Amino acid sequence: MEQVERDDWATETQGDVTRTTTPTSKAVCGAGKAPVCLTCHGATDEKDCFFKGVWKQCPDDTYTCVRRTYRNKAGQLRISRNCGQLAKCPAFKPGCMPDSEPSKSCSECSFKSPSTYSKCDFMDTSVCQLAGDPHCKQFNALPGEPLLNLNGHCKYNMVTTYCKPGRGHGWFELHASFMSANEGKSAFMQKLSITYHNDLYMLESNVIDLRTFGPVVLPFQKSGMEISKLNGLYFFKVSEGITIAWDGHHKVNVVVPKNIAVCGLCGQHTKDFEGADLRVGRSYVTAGCYNMNVTTEFNGMAKNKQEFIHSWFIGQNGQQACAKECGGP
């Protein structure tokens, strides 16, 4: 299907940055103006690190989760992470402009070429856009990065707040069922479902069904979820700050505050590298889907896009293309 761009969808603003740690939107240290992209004492960064096969929590707020990307002997992109001590931030050096993009180090202030650095105006939210084939603009995608073509045929986890190894469910999840098109050469999203705490909302063809309740009448409000319609778009807003905009058919935007850790086919907020965020999911594919072999460990970089998609598989959807992709005994 043809992808259509709409400027009135929720957007995020990022500078021309090629490497970045998870930024904060407020000046957390130093004498600069807000926002200043530094990670120092008092920064509200992610404190849980997954490395060497186990989850570990950093000792206190003077540490942060330090990530590094590297390639192993097989040429596969991998991520290592560990708890690192944060530096104490001195005052900015003369000539260091705090309203522009400095290095992400508290011990020095350096700039790229003046022609490439930009104002540090990161927003508090990140956006995942899904449309078309379906094409996906993941969270924290850099300007100019190509969209990720998710040519799956089953049901997958796009966004979840459950980002740990093994089975489990987040308090918020967005699932998408991809339907085969063009004799299996492409796919598009036909059905969506939103899990919010104990409620399940099912979305298809301009209809919103709440499990055990039936079709909802807009505007709708229940237990922290608000649903409304404006200018042809359906908006789902939860009290924790996540917003979904849906066109009623095949396009959806997910806006998530950066203080909420998420993962899925939409990627993560912690992307500090170029290219698609292909970190592997928890992989339910052991339930009879023998064609969906995922060998990369949870949260490692997938060997390829297909393994990445398979790792976020959550179930079949009744169509032949999915059964073929899944395989069986």
Confidence of residue 328 (pLDDT cuts 50, 70, 90): low
Question: Is pLDDT of 265 > 90?
Answer: yes
Question: Is pLDDT of 69 > 80?
Answer: no
Tens of pLDDT, residue by residue over 228-255, are 999 899 999 999 999 999 999 989 999 9
pLDDT of residue 176: 94
Question: Does residue 33 lie in a domain region?
Answer: no
Question: Is pLDDT of 192 > 90?
Answer: yes
Q: Which of 85, 113, 146 is the last residue of a domain?
A: 85
- Looking at the structure, tell me whether residues 188 and 321 fall in a common domain: yes
pTM of model > 0.85: no
- Looking at the structure, tell me whether residues 130 and 205 fall in a common domain: yes
Query: Mapping DSSP to helix (H, G, I), strand (E, B) and coil, where does residue 109 land?
Result: coil
Quote the CA–CA distance of 268 and 278 in Å, as a whole number: 10
Quote the CA–CA distance of 216 and 227 in Å, as a whole number: 9
- Looking at the structure, tell me whether residues 56 and 146 fall in a common domain: no
Question: Does residue 30 lie in a domain region?
Answer: no
- Looking at the structure, tell me whether residues 71 and 141 fall in a common domain: no
What average pLDDT does the segment 175-192 reach?
81
- Looking at the structure, tell me whether residues 66 and 175 fall in a common domain: no
What average pLDDT does the segment 60-78 reach?
65
Q: Which of 35, 62, 85 is the last residue of a domain?
A: 85
- Looking at the structure, tell me whether residues 213 and 69 fall in a common domain: no
- Looking at the structure, tell me whether residues 58 and 164 fall in a common domain: no
Question: Does residue 90 lie in a domain region?
Answer: no
Q: Which uninterrupted H or E stretch holds 322?
A: helix 320-326
Give me the amino acid identity at 101.
E
- Looking at the structure, tell me whether residues 64 and 193 fall in a common domain: no
Question: Is pLDDT of 111 > 90?
Answer: no
- Looking at the structure, tell me whether residues 273 and 179 fall in a common domain: yes
Quote the CA–CA distance of 163 and 263 in Å, as a whole number: 6
* Residue 240: how many other CB atoms lie within 10 Å: 15
- Looking at the structure, tell me whether residues 319 and 175 fall in a common domain: yes
Question: Does residue 94 lie in a domain region?
Answer: no
- Looking at the structure, tell me whether residues 216 and 295 fall in a common domain: yes
Question: Does residue 43 lie in a domain region?
Answer: no
Question: Does residue 224 lie in a domain region?
Answer: yes
Longest dimension (CA), the chain: 68
- The contacts of residue 287 (CB under 8 Å, 6+ apart) are none
Question: Does residue 193 lie in a domain region?
Answer: yes
What average pLDDT does the segment 90-117 reach?
37
What's the domain range around 269? 125-326
Provide the residue count of the chain.
329
Question: Does residue 299 lie in a domain region?
Answer: yes
- Looking at the structure, tell me whether residues 76 and 196 fall in a common domain: no
- The contacts of residue 76 (CB under 8 Å, 6+ apart) are 301, 303
What average pLDDT is seen over the chain?
71
Quote the CA–CA distance of 172 and 186 in Å, as a whole number: 28
Q: What tokens were used for 307?
A: 């393994």
Name the domain count of the chain: 2
- The contacts of residue 112 (CB under 8 Å, 6+ apart) are 101
Q: Which of 85, 108, 141 is the last residue of a domain?
A: 85
